[in-house]
Amino acid sequence: MELFAPDFWSALLAIVIIDLVLAGDNAIVIGLAARNLPKENQKKVIIWGTVGAIVIRAAATLAVVWLLKIPGLLLGGGLILLYIAYKLMIEEKDHDIEAQNNVFAAIKTIIIADAVMGLDNVLAVAGAAHGDFLLVVIGLLISVPIVVWGSTLFLKLMEKYPFIITIGAGVLAWTASKMIVGEKFMKPYFENDFIKYGFEILMVVIVLGLGTLKKKKMAEEKAAASNEKVPEPSNNEA
């Protein structure tokens, strides 16, 4: 990909959006793991925990970028990413991270939790990078500091403005569709631009549509369950 060409900028923007939306929850892990430490040690844990997480995240993403060059893996990765986009729309995440009283234990908790929770992020960024290692590095350099130091603010924004999640899911679905279209043995089916772009738009519409319907159904079921739990007023007179 040509450096600073329009495609480069669109891919970089996609990576930053993916990092912010998918890594927002991961950043909360840092605060949860360090919350029992003295204030003077919290900064140290945040810095070194973040450094460790970035190194592992970058190495894993670059490895996946390389792996996606193997025939068939782009298609498989794209299908997985479509599911991740759908899950992003409907999933309600809980943060169950044990607070640590030891600096090294807190750093280890942050790194391990980020590595486990960041698998979706790694695949999404690798797909959006289209094999460009520089894009991965620049995307991480831009988004990670924002996520780490502005995680609480960003999470509140996502809660207050749910459309941010929808935008993130749409970007993921678009990235997934581009991965599928970019698979070598799939290219003959998408030589026509109308079919190619139509497929990409269709995938975004399907993911967002199904996610919205599922979320609405879950909300209705939750409301119905709440109403069932409300005790009926007693007719007995005192």
- pLDDT tens digits, residue range 81-133? 888 888 878 865 554 555 555 677 777 776 776 666 566 677 777 888 777 77
Per-residue model confidence (pLDDT) at position 160: 79
**End-to-end CA gap in the chain:** 80
3-state helix, strand, coil in the chain (%, to 5): 80, 0, 20
Cβ neighbours of residue 53 closer than 8 Å, sequence gap 6 or more: 26, 110, 111, 114, 115, 118
Residue 238: predicted pLDDT: 45
More confident residue, 60 or 113: 60
Distance CA 136, CA 140 (A): 6
Question: How far apart (Å, rounded) are the C-alpha atoms in residues 120 and 80?
Answer: 9
pLDDT at residue 78 greater than cutoff 70: yes
**C-alpha dihedral sign at 215, 162, 75, 19:** negative
Spans of all domains in the chain: 6-216
Instruction: Please check whether residue 104 is in contact with residue 98, taking contact to mean a CB–CB distance below 8 angstroms.
Output: no
CA distance 56 to 153: 25
Residues 186 and 180: beta-carbon distance below 8 Å: yes
Q: Which two tokens stand for residue 44?
A: 């140290």
**How confident is residue 28, by pLDDT bands cut at 50, 70 and 90?**
low
DSSP state letter for 233: P
Phi-psi region of 230 (alpha: psi -120 to 50; beta: other; left: phi over 0): beta
Other CB atoms within 10 A of residue 49 CB: 24
Q: Which residue has the higher pLDDT, 12 or 37?
A: 12
C-alpha to C-alpha distance for 46 and 33, rounded to whole angstroms:
9
Local confidence band at 208 (pLDDT 50, 70, 90 cut-offs): very high
- Rounded CA separation 37/2 (Å): 46
Residue 23's pLDDT is what? Answer: 63
Q: Which two tokens stand for residue 138?
A: 């620049």
Tokens 């030589």 correspond to 191
Asked if the model's pLDDT at residue 33 lies above 50, the reply is yes
pTM tops 0.75, yes or no:
no
